[in-house]
Structures are given as C-alpha cells and as structure tokens.
Structure 1
Amino acid sequence: MSKPIDCVHSIEGSGPAIFLIHGIGARRAGWSKLVEALKDKFTCISYDLRGHGDSPLPSDRFGLEDLVDDLEHLRAKLGIERAHLAGHSLGGMIGPAYARRFPDRVLSVGLLSTAAFRTEDDSAKVKAVVAAMRERGIGQVLDTLTARWFTDEFASRRPDVIAWRKKQVMDTPAEIFLNVFDIYAETEMGPWLHEVLAPCLVLTGEFDGGCNPRLNRQIAEALPHSELVILDGLKHAILIEASERVAPPVRQFLLANS
C-alpha cells in the first residue's frame, strides 16, 4: 500500500455531502452537469483521482485499496462524518470498496456504468484492450474506446466532445492510464458485494458493452439494498452524453436516502 495522495477537489452546493468519483483517464469536470442538478440539495465534492487532472502523480503502481485510501484521506481532511458516494466506471468500483471498508461513513452508493460478475469471456475482452494499448500505444486504441463510450449519433453530432474526452486520456500519463485500466480489468466485486449494506443505486446504459445490463442485474441482485436503472439507447459515457437523463434517478435516490 502506498501512502494516500492529496487529491485536488471542487466543492459546490449545500446539504448532505456526496463524493463524485470519476473513471479511467477522466476528470472531476465530467460531473459538472450532475453537480448543477444536485447542488441545491447536496454538497457535491468532485475530485481528480491520483495521477489524473490536477492531482499529484503517485511514485509507484497502486491498486483499488490505494484509491479507497485517497478517498478516506479526502473525507477526513474535509471533516465530513458521513456522505453519499457516486462513482462512474472505475469510480463505481472505488465507491462500493470504500463502503465495504468504512460502512459507518457511508449514506448510500451509486454504481454507475460499472462491472462485476464478468464471465471468462468478458474478462478476456477487457484484458485484451489493455494488452493492445500496451503493445500499440494508447492513442492507437482510442477510437475503439470512444466508439464503446459514445453512441454513433452523439459522436457524429458532437465531435468536439469526443475530441475533449480523447484529450483527457492523452493528457493522462500513460503509466497511470494503464495502471487504472488494469485495476478496472482485474477487479471482481462479485465475491464481496453482499457485504455492502448501504442503499445502492445501480445504473447503466442499455448498450454499454463492458458494463452491460446483464452484469448490472447481477450487481443489483447481489447487493442487499439496491435499485436498478437501465437507460435505454446509451453506451458508457452517460455522464457526458446524457447527464440530463442520469440526474433525475440519481437525485430521486439521494433524496430518498438522505
């Protein structure tokens, strides 16, 4: 275990706290539209994961538990006793892992566009993507990734947003991007999700290849207190492409569990 890193964060709004945890090669800015929809009722704390955006680079490789340590370090520094958590993709693994280790600190958990209960075939596919990036370079595989993240219709209508998201990835140091992709590919929450006792919202896009409804139904069934929302017609980048559709179920869930 490496020592916790002081992650750069933004705070907006008032009310019960919610920590917003982004995914691989993303930034806290990815939550901005959701923050707008929540900040009248909630204190929204978004932060850049270690090695991402404005946060410091770690000195060596790290694992899921190190990312949990960073979140606990931030919570303690801000003096927040209990908070909601919502994470997207890799963030949707950090949140429940935190809730499992620090149950008394957590009001609820949002697992957005994340994966568990992968079959051997599912695991092989995601690990093949990481292997291709190691072999050919991240830039060579980026078009494959963005095609999985965004719907074709959105990509053709908003090439500027696709370019912005690609730039975030390329601005993330390659060793950090590959490190977090390894964590995402190798984490299997299935054996321990039943230990997460906080109320959980499980939400994904209908056409999200790697974090699909099949896996998310199993996630929801494994969690003792959960509700499942499938957003039709969407792929992985739900916060960027369709935050106006993500916000209502998230807001309703948070209000019901505050």
Structure 2
Amino acid sequence: MQINVNGIDTRYILSNEGGGPWLTFIHQLGGDLSVWDQLAGFFRDEYTVLRYDVRGHGQTAVSDRQFSVADLSQDLRALLDALGVKKTHLVGMSMGGMIAQQFALDNPDRVDTLTLTDTHAATPSDGRALWEQRAATVRNEGVGALAQATMERWLTAGFRDAHPEVVEQIREVFENTSSEGYAHACLALRDFDVSSRLRGITLPTLAVAGRHDAGTPPAATQAIADAIGGARFELLDAAHLAPIEQSQRFTALLESFLQKLV
C-alpha cells in the first residue's frame, strides 16, 4: 500500500490477522520492508504488524533534498498519524535502530517498548569520513559497487554459504536501492548523535547485537543499553543483521520481551 507522508510517496504493509497491539519494524540502510517478512509472519497473529520502506528505499520515493535522522523520525510519526496509530512497539535494525531511538526521544508517548538491534547512538568523529566516502561512491558508481563488501559485513561466511537464497534476496534489494536515496541516508547517519539524550529514555528497552558485527561493534549497542535505565542487552552469534541470521533466537527474545510487557 502507498500513502503520502511528508510529501513522500511511502510504501507500507500491514499484517493484522490478530488485531492486537501495534508492532512496527524499521529496516536497515540499503534494505526495505521485505527484510522483516519472516518476523512479520510470526507476529501477525497476536499483533498488528506495520512495516514500511524508509524514505529513498524500496518503493518509497527519493527525497529531493538532504534529510536527517530526525526527518526520518518525523516520517514515521506522520505515517502512524495517517494510520491512526496512537502507540506502537518499535523495532529498529541498524539505520532503523537510529530512527527508533530518535523517534522514542521525540515521541515517548507514542512508544510502548523499544527494541534496538545492531545500532549505535552516534557516529564517532573518526567514522564520519566513511559515510561521506560511501555517499560519493554510490553517486559515482551506483550502490552495486558496495554490494559484495556489504553482504560480507552484514552476514557471516557460514550463514552466506548455508543460506544463499536469503543472501541473494537481501543483495537484490540492496542493489535496487536508489543511489541518491542511499547517499542522502549515508549523510544523515554521518550526522546522527543522540548519545547525550539516551538517559532520558525510560521505555522498556531490548538491545541486541551480533557478536561478529565489524561495522557496528557490539560494544556500541551495549552502550545504548547501559545508558537506558533497566534496558536488557543480548548478544547473538551473528554479524550485522542479527535478527535475520539468528532469526529463531531473535524471534524468541522479542516474543518474550513483548509478552512480559503487554
């Protein structure tokens, strides 16, 4: 389904066979809502599951201007408003986790629980140039130039060998991502920093990291949990896309976390 959000034509999918509480998933940079297919299928019997393509990704239109993570958070708020959603459980992976943090800080009354995976609260100063380099590369060569290195960073070699069909689907989505949308998002992540505000989050929070994540070291995700009072931290045997590589374990963790709080 498509809806106009802040002037951006936005794709979203609702799975609400159970008609229960809202559960919203936000995907990673260079991804789209399909990365959550398996999880949506599991939770749709008990929750109203919302997935959407972030601005400049998937089938959501590309912005004609540079945007920030705060803008992406406002996109989510506008989408929830349009769908009549007062509160939701929020799950964000990588870039999605940054959007989720921003949204929870800006709209604490709209969030039931917060689940953050493979993400950080700020881009370190020595990492800013990397985002600028990636933006320049995709603008000059297309996102395909980053595909192989990205798959190797996102998923362990063992998983890639055992599940080539999963890797191929994720890679296809990545390669079909708009170069300009990807570049805009890179610069938004370059400037992201909510680290000084995290202690203001009082929501029940689950933070999950992949033990083999070289791009976002587990310590970065654990630091978020340490800063949020009462937050729970879990480490999975995975690389950057821990909810995908360890889908059964992540599903069990999320189910247990949500059931304790519903």
Task: Normalising by structure 1, report the TM-score.
Answer: 0.90
State the secondary structure of the residue aligned to 1:8: strand
Match of 2:190 in 1: 185
Q: Does the C-alpha gap of structure 1 residues 100 and 83 become closer, same or farther in structure 2, counting only changes over 3 Å?
A: same
Q: Does the C-alpha gap of structure 1 residues 62 and 75 become closer, same or farther in structure 2, counting only changes over 3 Å?
A: same
Alignment check: 8 A CA contact 2:87 2:109 kept = yes
Match of 2:172 in 1: 167
Distance 1:38 1:81 in 2: 19
**1:242, distance to aligned residue in structure 2 (A):** 2.5
Match of 1:255 in 2: 259
Match of 2:66 in 1: 61
CA deviations on 1:205-242 (whole Å, 9 max, x unpaired) are 0011122221122111111231101102x001223322
Match of 1:217 in 2: 222
Q: Find 1:25's aligned residue among 26, 30, 33.
A: 30
Structure 2 unpaired stretches of 5+: none
Q: Does the C-alpha gap of structure 1 residues 246 and 129 become closer, same or farther in structure 2, counting only changes over 3 Å?
A: same
Match of 2:6 in 1: 3
Match of 1:206 in 2: 211
Trace 1:113-132 onto structure 2 (pairs within 5 A): 113-116=118-121, 119-123=124-128, 125=130, 128-132=133-137
Worse-matched range after superposition: 24-33 or 188-197: 188-197
Worse-matched range after superposition: 246-255 or 125-134: 125-134
Amino acid corresponding to residue 251 of structure 1 in structure 2:
E
Q: Does the C-alpha gap of structure 1 residues 206 and 123 become closer, same or farther in structure 2, counting only changes over 3 Å?
A: farther
State the secondary structure of the residue aligned to 2:256: helix
Alignment check: 8 A CA contact 1:6 1:73 kept = no
Distance 1:209 1:54 in 2: 29
Task: Normalising by structure 2, report the TM-score.
Answer: 0.89
**1:7, distance to aligned residue in structure 2 (A):** 2.3
Alignment check: 8 A CA contact 2:205 2:228 kept = yes
Q: Percent identity?
A: 29
Amino acid corresponding to residue 5 of structure 1 in structure 2:
I
Count, aligned residues: 256
What is the aligned-residue RMSD (CA, Å)?
2.1
**1:4, distance to aligned residue in structure 2 (A):** 5.0
Structure 1 unpaired stretches of 5+: none
Match of 1:93 in 2: 98
**1:167, distance to aligned residue in structure 2 (A):** 1.7
Amino acid corresponding to residue 12 of structure 2 in structure 1:
H
Alignment check: 8 A CA contact 1:4 1:73 kept = no
